[in-house]
Amino acid sequence: MYASSFIEAFETVESAVERALSLDTYRRAGRVRRIRSEAVAAVDDIAELATVAVAGVELSGYGEWETDDTVESVIAARIAGRDDPDLAVEDIDRAVSADRLVEEAGTVLVPLTEGSGAIRNWWLLADALRDWLADLIDDARRLHRRASVDGSDLVETAFWTLLDRLVALRELLDEALTMGEFVYRSTRRETFELLTDVGRIAGTITERTHA
């Protein structure tokens, strides 16, 4: 699994929300519900991806790494829609050697599973996604307010559901990151696995988004 899977799903949500915000009216329930369904399906995909990603999280990847800046630059470039992270070749090579990045067919990818480097990547990606979610939630709130004024009860409920799922995802990322930092600072045990709490978070993500 790579960071691009999350980023593409977030882009789908963002695109759907932007299209919904551009509508002149929310009285055309069919069109509005199609856009909402597309966004919610992408949120569900994010939840499924997160369930898989966090299942292997352990504190061996939580502490800072020398190659963090390189990985963060790649993630930021992908979120901004740029394929070229504008990094020196030696920086990318160093991150590849540390199992933080993978190069396939000339494309630099950020792995999220298998190995402590990939685990560290997950923590960095989760932090970036949390910030992105804050913007999406603000837009979803605007959508819900507009729908509550201009749309039917069905349309208003549809956008409330989207907002609720985005908020749930943001809360769960907050919880995962807060828990990781607390346990890491409290124990400093690099091999301590967060299996119990992470399993609970993963299950909650799935249950909340499919409710």
The burial of 105, by beta-carbon neighbours within 10 Å (0-12 exposed, 13-18 middle, 19 or more buried), is given as exposed
pLDDT digits (tens, 9 = 90+) for 164-204: 989 988 887 887 777 666 555 554 444 344 444 544 544 55
Burial 55-87 (b: 16+ CB within 10 A, else e): ebbbbbbbeebebbebbbbbbebbbeeeeebeb
Which pTM does this prediction carry?
A: 0.78
- Enumerate the domain spans of the chain: 3-60+119-208
Q: What are phi and psi of 102, to 5 degrees?
A: -130, 140
- Local structure of residue 63 (DSSP, 8 states): S
Token digits of residue 104: 């396939």
Partners of residue 111 on adjacent β-strands: 2
Q: What is the mean pLDDT of the chain?
A: 79
Sign of dihedral through CA atoms 75, 77, 82, 88?
A: negative
What is the tens place of the pLDDT at every residue in 11-23?
A: 999 999 999 898 8
Top-confidence residue, 8 or 183: 8
